[in-house]
Structure 1
Amino acid sequence: MRPPPALGPMTPTGFCGQRPHLAAAEHGQRGGAPSPSPHNTSDADAACVVLGTFAPQRRRIYRLAGAVVHPKLLRSQPSLLSLTMRSFQLLAATALLAPSALAAAVPAVEYCANPRVVSTAYIGRNKDVLVTQTACDDVRAPVAAHALEARQANNVCGSTFDTFCFTPSGGGPDPNECHVITDALLYDSQNVGALFTLDPAQNTTTITMQYRSCESFMVNQAGVALTYCRTDWASILDNLAFNCQATQNAHGGLSVATNQEWFIQVQST
């Protein structure tokens, strides 16, 4: 298996253990105490925030003790930092799957109401990556997403996002198996098309990809059709798979659009 593409150097400048440092990091300020190892971060402080630079664009990584906190929530409700946020629960969706197909997981009810698998297929050069399209009755959308309704084109390729690693370590996916999904995305980008669409009106709110121990899914939270690049998903997938591992005191993670229109998650099956 060929090695993953270079993600560029990571140059951490850390803010750990203290809420004022975390608030400073969220607003893009640099400074504060040196960053200790995430292994030494207490659950009470629930914070080891690392600002990292990955080619080709800047991405922020938040390592929270067993929690994922969106930036808007950090700004509006700082007290949430001391809480353990709920992890994403999985619902095994077996309807419409052939007996030999793997069960596909979909996001929790908190994001996807009444999830229903509407199609499955295998993609990639070797047709070994399972892709599942899931419909939701409703997906909670941020206020910022309503601005999309007036647009003609909802292409969100290249949009900015924040990246979160799930802590602590243990039970994460094999990054090399995640890279098989990356290869399948790149193969389809060249042979099927560079773009794909998540359209709630066409019963496609969530797309899940699975290969052995690795699973990645993208959720449209905007409430309107969003078009995204397969190469962008591939880049995010490799970034999460190889940089949210046990060596980073993590077991997978997610990238969420800055305006929360969408998110991509990587986890074990």
Structure 2
Amino acid sequence: MFAKQLPAFLIVLFCGLSAIAAPKDTSKCSSVSKTHIGEKKQVLLETKNCGGEVNSVADSKIAKDGNSNPTNVCGAKCHTVCYSKDPPYYTPGDCQVLYDTIWYESQRNVKGHEFVILKGQTMTMSYSTCEISFVNEGTDLDLVYCRDDWGAVIRYIATSGTCPFGGVCVSEDKNGPQWSINAVGTTPIQGN
């Protein structure tokens, strides 16, 4: 009996792993806000609505200041899965620019050490060949995340050579808020 169930189990297991390893497709998401950040203002920061509330980053700050009760996931662990995909690939040096920008913004204390990402929204930073997204996968919770944690995940996935073709870090707490951080290669953006 076990021998008959094993192939079915393995199919379900591998299908589940491939779903986790697939990058979040944000092409159908609508842009809420765009701005350039960093010391040289060379990194594009974009918030996209992927089915959640339509609010700007400024509205996210209002939510953090008391009109909402976002769930803090700073320090929460995530599980990394590396992609093996076709181009475009990122250049680790371009991803390092994103890491440096997070560090720069944190040191300047711009809008605080934490940021709020509303339910169903994605916050994406991009520079040349590298795109990093924090995705709030939930439909019922706004989340607070820390810039230094986001930077640490970026450094691990995209600049250390751990995942040369990109990767995703998925929240480990399956009973808690669902979120992920994706690092992918992209066609260089004009002006970055």
Q: TM over 0.5: same fold?
A: yes
* TM-aligned CA distance change 1:136 to 1:89, over 3 Å: closer
Identity among equivalent positions (%) equals 31
Name the amino acid aligned to 1:197: V
Structure 1 residue aligned with 2:97: 180
Structure 1 residue aligned with 2:137: 221
Q: Where does 1:225-264 land on structure 2 (aligned, <5 Å)?
A: 225-241=142-158, 242=160, 243-245=162-164, 251-259=165-173, 261-264=178-181
Structure 1 residue aligned with 2:72: 155
Shift, 1:88, TM fit: 3.1
SS in structure 2 of the partner of residue 189 of structure 1: helix
CA distances 1:152-203 after superposition (whole Å, capped 9, x unpaired) = 5511100011001012686421111101000111111121121000013xxx
Where do 5+ consecutive residues of structure 2 fail to align? 1-7, 54-67, 187-192
Moved over 6 A (4+): none
Name the amino acid aligned to 1:209: M
> Which moved further from structure 2: 169-178 or 255-264?
169-178
* TM-aligned CA distance change 1:244 to 1:122, over 3 Å: same
Shift, 1:222, TM fit: 2.4
* Alignment pair present for 1:85 and 2:21: no
Question: TM-score scaled by structure 1?
Answer: 0.52
Q: Cα RMSD over matched residues?
A: 2.7
Name the amino acid aligned to 1:121: T
Q: Where does 1:173-212 land on structure 2 (aligned, <5 Å)?
A: 173-191=90-108, 192=110, 193-200=112-119, 205-212=121-128
- Alignment: residue pair count: 154
SS in structure 1 of the partner of residue 123 of structure 2: strand
Whole-angstrom CA distance in 2 between matches of 1:116 and 1:153: 22
Where do 5+ consecutive residues of structure 1 fail to align? 1-75, 91-105, 108-113, 140-150, 246-250
Structure number with higher helix proportion: 2
Whole-angstrom CA distance in 2 between matches of 1:169 and 1:221: 25
* Alignment pair present for 1:128 and 2:42: yes
CA distances 1:6-34 after superposition (whole Å, capped 9, x unpaired) = xxxxxxxxxxxxxxxxxxxxxxxxxxxxx
Higher relative contact order (CA 8 A, sep 6+): 2
Q: Which has the larger radius of gyration?
A: 1
* TM-aligned CA distance change 1:124 to 1:77, over 3 Å: farther
